[in-house]
Structure formats: C-alpha cells, structure tokens
Amino acid sequence: MGRQRPGTPTLEEVAALAGVGRGTVSRVVNNAAGVRDSTRRAVRQAITELGYVPNLAARSLAGHRADAVALVMTEPDWRLFGEPFFTEVVHAVGDALTDTPVQLLLTLVRTDTERQRFVEYARGGRVDGVLLMSVHAEDALPDMLAKAGLPTVMLGRRSGDETITYVDADNTAGARGAVAHLLDTGRTTIGAVSGPLDMYVAQCRLRGYREALEGAGVTPASSLVVEGSDFTEQSGRRAMADLISRRPELDAVFAASDTLAAGALDALRAAGRRVPRDVAVIGFDDVHPARPTDPPLTTVRQPLGEIGRTMVRLLLEEMEDSPAGRRSVVLPTELVVRDSA
Amino acid sequence: MGRQRPGTPTLEEVAALAGVGRGTVSRVVNNAAGVRDSTRRAVRQAITELGYVPNLAARSLAGHRADAVALVMTEPDWRLFGEPFFTEVVHAVGDALTDTPVQLLLTLVRTDTERQRFVEYARGGRVDGVLLMSVHAEDALPDMLAKAGLPTVMLGRRSGDETITYVDADNTAGARGAVAHLLDTGRTTIGAVSGPLDMYVAQCRLRGYREALEGAGVTPASSLVVEGSDFTEQSGRRAMADLISRRPELDAVFAASDTLAAGALDALRAAGRRVPRDVAVIGFDDVHPARPTDPPLTTVRQPLGEIGRTMVRLLLEEMEDSPAGRRSVVLPTELVVRDSA
DNA sequence: TTGAAAGCGCTAACAC
DNA sequence: GTGTTAGCGCTTTCAA
C-alpha cells in the first residue's frame, strides 16, 4: 500500500510552525482572501520549510469535491484509442482544463468489470464529473452515471431524444452540404453509402443526403442507397460494389464516414472508374486529420477541438449549477474541398 | 461542484437499517472474514436497498490508500499518444490490473503546469503508485515522484545507472543479435544509423552493433556509423544519404529504430539501391505493430505486452513491500525475420 | 462474532 | 483578520 508516506506534514504542523491557527493555513493554501500579507508570508514560509502538500482525501471528505474529472473511453476495441479522432479530443479537453485546478483522468472501460469499477470510483466521489467518448447505443454506462446524479457530458448522441447532455457535430447539415456541393458541381446521379442505420449518427447523415436531394427537387431513389453493416472499409467496398452494379451510371457518391469512403474508392477503382473524374466521392472526416487517401477526397470535417472544449464547458457548468436545464450543443461541420469534384 | 449527491447513504445508515454496528458493515463491504453468514446477508440486503456506495475519500483518509495507480504519459508531442507503441502498453497495463481492485488512471503531462498539478495529485495521496511512459532524460517528474517517496516504475532507462525502478528491453542484445544475423547471412560491410547518442537507448543499440562486429573479429569503422539528430524518418534519410556517399560499398544497415529504418530505406532507394538485395536493412521495432514498410523489413521487436505487465508487477510489489531493494527488469527482444536478407 | 469509539487531515461556520 | 470547533464517512483497534 502506497499513499502519503508516513511522516507527511499536516496542516496542523504547518499552523504550529507558523504560529497560527489551522483555519488560517487553510485559507492561505486555498488562496482565500482575508489574510494579512505578513501572515500569509509566514504561512507560506512554513509550508515550504515542511514541504507540506495537502491531503486530497481529507480535502475531498470535508470539501465535497474531488477537483478531478474523468474522460472515459468506452471501447472494447482498445486499438481505436490511438485514432487521431480520439487523440484530438483528448488534447482539446486537456487544454480546456489547463487553467483550472481540475486534474484530468483518462480511463479505459473495456469490460463489465472495468465498467463496474469505474462507476464505483465515480460514485465514490473521486471525480466531480465525467466526459464520455465513443459511446455505443447499448452501453449501460451513461445511464448508470446519470442515475447516480453525476454530471456527465457525452460526445455524440445515442438517439434523437438523448437524455444526457451531449456535444455533437451537425451531421445532418454536414451531409446535406456535401450532397448540395455535389449537385452544385454538376453531378446528377448521387449514390449514398450509409453506415448501419441502428446508429443515430448514420441516420442523421443519411437524412442530410435525402434532404439535399429533396431540396433540389429530386426524389431520393432507394436504389441509390446502400447500408453498410458497420463503418469499416470492407463495408464500404461491398456497399459500393453493390451500388455500381445496380446503378452503373452514377457520377457521385456520398459516404457516411471516411472509412466507408476509402472502401468505396477501392470498389470504384476495381470497377475501372476514375475518381473524381468519373465519380466524385465525399465522405465524413471522422478521424481528422484524415488518413491519406489518393486522390485526396473532399470531406466533411468535424470540429473536434471545439467539440472537446465545448464538452468541458458544459461539464463545468453542470458541476457548478444546480440541476439547471440541460443545454446540449450541436456544432457545425466544415466542407473541406480537396479535389475538383 | 459535483461529488456524491447530497443524500447519498452512508455506512452508518446501512448499519442502522441492518441493525448492526458500523464496524460490521465495513467488514462486509471489504469482504473481511469474521462475520456470521446471516449477518452478512442482512447487511448486503441493506446495502442493496439503500444503493450504498462507499465514499472513497473517507476510505482513503482512514485507510491510507487510494486503490488507484496512474499511468503517466510525459510527452509534449501529444500526438505520439496515439502510437501503437503506447496503446499496446496501455492495454497490457489495463489487463494486468483487471483482477485487482485498483483503478487505472491515464494522465497526460505536457506542460510544467500539468506536471505540478499531477505531482500534487499524486503526493496528495490520490494514487498509490505511478507508471511512467516516454520519459525524457531531462524530465524532472521522475525525481519529483521519487523524492516524494511514491512507488514509481519507468518504461525504459534515462541512463546506465538509473535510480528509479524500470522495465526496459535489452536493446544491446537486440542490436547485437540483429547485426549478428546480418553477418550470418553473408553481409560484410554493415553501416549503422544511430539515434541521438545523448539518449541511453541509442547508446545501447549502438553498443550492440559494435559488440556484434567485434564478436566476429571485425573492428567497427567509425566511417560506417552515422548519428541521427533524433529518431525521425528525416534523420534516417539524411544519415543514410551521408553513409552511402561515404561508403558506397556497404551491403547492410542496422538502424536504431523503425523510423530511422524507414528513412534509410528512402535514401537507399533514392540512391538506386535495391533492398534487401543490394543492401539489407534491420531496424528496431519501436511502434509495434510496425508501420507497413515495403519491402517488409526484418526487425528487432520489443515485448511490449510483457513490458507493461512487468511494470505493473513491480509497481504492486513496491506498493506492498517496505522499501526493499529495487529490482528492475530487462526483457529480451525478438528478431523477426521478414525478408531473405 | 460484533459494537463502540478513536482518529485520518481537512473545510467551513462561527466566534472573537 | 484569525483562532476554534464541529463534522465529512470510513477503517481499525479494543472490549465485550
């Protein structure tokens, strides 16, 4: 068992050495106002002399806060942990917390054992709030935390009527803009490689595709839409192969993720199509910065940095406020034109 | 501020409901022996009924331990955080901790502010021990932790007489084996693309190179060794270009990292050499699984999983034991032959 | 086997 | 301004 070495100086000892009361030392340590400057100096001196460091367990117990928040990655496939998507968010969250006294704790939750342990950790008061990344629709963790009354902010939504505070990209508008761009550049027969429609993000992106077509007076043909079974490149290849055989005349494709787009690209080439000349491809840029593709694709980019910062802002608000109304945020995406599609 | 919602049940309330004393509830919660089965059941019942979760701050304060360890990434270049090298270690550490009641906390330390905050967090008793990844020689963190008496285990060494417990790969032997392999396969003029020699890992790898040559009765020529200014591909390209111009007759190269090897490969090709036919290349496999190179290179692989598990073992030992003698570990590497070099 | 009680080191409310 | 004091909720003797 580790913990503070025995012999670690306490507030009391500092007070004794400085010749003041414990309350005063506490005020100095916490930079509270109402302490004479000379006293403050004397206390600081004693602190330095003794090498005093506050016992955080005692502080938590008495102060009812942990000064820490957890950023949880609930991902059975831990390899995704290394994706630029997540590192970018982690970075932004770290930055947003840098000027606060709040310690950021990253946590991996892969199994039910780990889920249980983390919930006890959080409910036990070791963190004041929780940020959730990569939440799957069927994950029990978000509701466990909500039920425990812990301030929680999610990256993305699980459904249209998400009950937990979230920060999401405007997937619908992003997809709509992408398809509108394709229409603007003269493409007429635009296919869609959708993600699995049991995921809300896939629903939104497909909706955006449809809305853009309808906005242009085109009725979206179901023969132009293929649903991938997941977001992998392989799904993209299969879906695209399917799409070409069904509608060989298509001249553009909207893919619901960068991985699906990469797969679609493979399939198009295998079918002898040139991209973007014969067929233009636009995909979402989920793991910004995007994996290099050749040719570079026009993408819909999520503002990951801002997403991370916003998550922190909402979390801090929830931590301070009384249970005010949830105010989730949906951030705009950006169309990054990289080809002459 | 968050923390346990007001109204969270306490040990005392559980005791009252179960009609027992607080001590008994504590014993049940901690699975301590010496409680009659019927009592235990009654207490469990009350715990469930109330939804009781122990307050971890109180437990820490009274029990002098946190039941948590930190895995710290001290890396100003946070992008490295996503490298397979680190995700592999994180994964192994997580696995090794899964059967313990210890919560793993990943922490990013990028700036001095964050360094200070983390030290206060750790010294404040929020973790029982610390695992350090990616330590730079001049980083103050390891010594700060050691001075505070916190059980600490490092991945790698900062120098030959490392004072902190560490787990390292046997870089010298790995390099020696790699070069011996080149000699065995008939190569005679073997160059070395070294890493920056102010880093201990680079020293070890170069020493292994020299030892292998000496073992074969060859005196290592200094004209065959080039020191990269860092471990980047660009350094590899420069160093290799230098090497070719100096010793155009070389037929093999030992690179001190996979990135240097990738750069060396570029330079060799640029010079019109075929790899591995004209020139065989062996590099260390630092970011296993290695980035795909074409052609696949023979590499020296570090046992990252075992490194992570060993770090946890040593840390748990240091946490339990009295300050017994440090017993660091150096693990063997594996030569992975992928070409016919 | 179990209950009672003494802290763990701090914050915050209240006196002076 | 500053000292004093009452807990925060738990673990851990020590008796019973």
A6 in a structural domain = no
| Residues B297, B309 within the same domain | no
In angstroms, how far is D15 C1' from A113 CA? 39
pLDDT at A275 over 70: yes
pLDDT of A287: 72
Q: Are B161 and B169 in contact (CB under 8 A)?
A: no
Tokens 């002898």 belong to A272
Task: Give dist(CA A60, CA B1) in Å, integer.
Answer: 11
Find which of B98, B103, B153, B165 to mutate to test the A interface (most A CBs within 10 Å of its CB). Answer: B103
| Residues A201, A104 within the same domain | no
What is the CATH classification number for the domain harbouring A49?
1.10.260.40
Interface of A with B in 269-328 (CB under 8 A): 318-320
pLDDT, tens only, B28-87: 999 999 999 999 999 999 999 999 999 999 999 999 999 999 999 987 776 667 788 888
Question: Considering only A288-292, B39-43, B125-129, B315-319, which range has the smallest mean pLDDT?
Answer: A288-292
Q: Are A142 and A301 in contact (CB under 8 A)?
A: no
How far is the alpha carbon of B78 from chain A, nearest alpha carbon, in Å?
7
B338 in a structural domain = no
| Residues A76, A51 within the same domain | no
Task: Give dist(CA A254, CA A272) in Å, integer.
Answer: 19
A336 in a structural domain = no
Q: What's the number of domains chain A is made of?
A: 3
B239 in a structural domain = yes
pLDDT of A48: 97
B5 in a structural domain = no
| Residues A81, A41 within the same domain | no
Q: Which of B46, B61, B76 is the last residue of a domain?
A: B61
**CA A188 from centroid of its chain's CA atoms:** 35
- Best CA proximity match to A212, nearest among A261, A263, A252: A252
| Residues B195, B293 within the same domain | yes
pLDDT of A76: 72
What is the CATH classification number for the domain harbouring A144?
3.40.50.2300
Question: Average per-residue pLDDT in chain A?
Answer: 92
Q: Domain containing A135: what range?
A: 68-168+305-331
B253-271 core/surface letters (b: 16 or more CB in 10 A; e: else): bbbbbbbbbbbbbbbbeee
Residues of A in contact with B66 (CB under 8 A): 2-3, 57
* Residue B185 structure tokens: 């396969």
Task: Give dist(CA B187, CA B182) in Å, integer.
Answer: 6
Q: Are B191 and B253 in contact (CB under 8 A)?
A: yes
| Residues A134, A214 within the same domain | no
A286 in a structural domain = yes
In this prediction, residues B302-330 reach a mean pLDDT of: 88
Cβ within 8 Å, pair A125-B79: no
pLDDT at B292 over 80: no
| Residues A184, A293 within the same domain | yes
In this prediction, residues A141-156 reach a mean pLDDT of: 95
Footprint of strand C on the protein (CB under 7 A): A 4, 8, 10-12, 22-23, 26, 29-30, 52, 54-55, 58-59, 61-63; B 19-24, 27, 33-36, 38-40, 58, 61-62
| Residues A127, A40 within the same domain | no
Q: Is the peptide bond before A142 cis (omega within 30 degrees of 0)?
A: no
| Residues B78, B133 within the same domain | yes
In angstroms, how far is D14 C1' from B68 CA? 31
Q: Are A263 and A234 in contact (CB under 8 A)?
A: yes
- Best CA proximity match to A120, nearest among B108, B68, B46: B68
Q: Which residues touch B66 (CB under 8 Å, ≥6 apart)?
A: A2, A3, A57, B56, B60, B125, B126, B127, B128
Find which of B29, B69, B89, B105 to mutate to test the A interface (most A CBs within 10 Å of its CB). Answer: B105
A3 in a structural domain = no
| Residues A132, A179 within the same domain | no
| Residues B38, B80 within the same domain | no
What's the alpha-carbon Rg for chain B, to the nearest Å? 26
In this prediction, residues B320-337 reach a mean pLDDT of: 84
pTM, rounded to two decimals: 0.94
In angstroms, how far is D14 C1' from A203 CA? 65
Question: Considering only A122-126, A132-136, A156-160, which range has the smallest mean pLDDT?
Answer: A132-136
pLDDT confidence tier of residue A90, bands split at 50, 70 and 90: very high
B3 in a structural domain = no
| Residues B175, B263 within the same domain | yes
- Measured CA to CA in angstroms, residue B126 lies from A79, A122, B103 at distances of 28, 13, 11
pLDDT confidence tier of residue B264, bands split at 50, 70 and 90: very high
Neighbours of B87 (CB within 10 A): 20
In a 13 Å sphere around the CA of A28, the CA atoms on its Cβ side amount to 26
Q: Which residue's CA lies closest to nucleotide C14 at its C1' atom?
A: A23
Asked if residue A60 keeps its beta carbon closer than 7 A to nucleic acid strand D, the reply is no
In angstroms, how far is C3 C1' from A26 CA? 35
Phi, psi at residue A44, to the nearest 5°?
-55, -40
Q: Which residue's CA lies closest to nucleotide D6 at its C1' atom?
A: A62
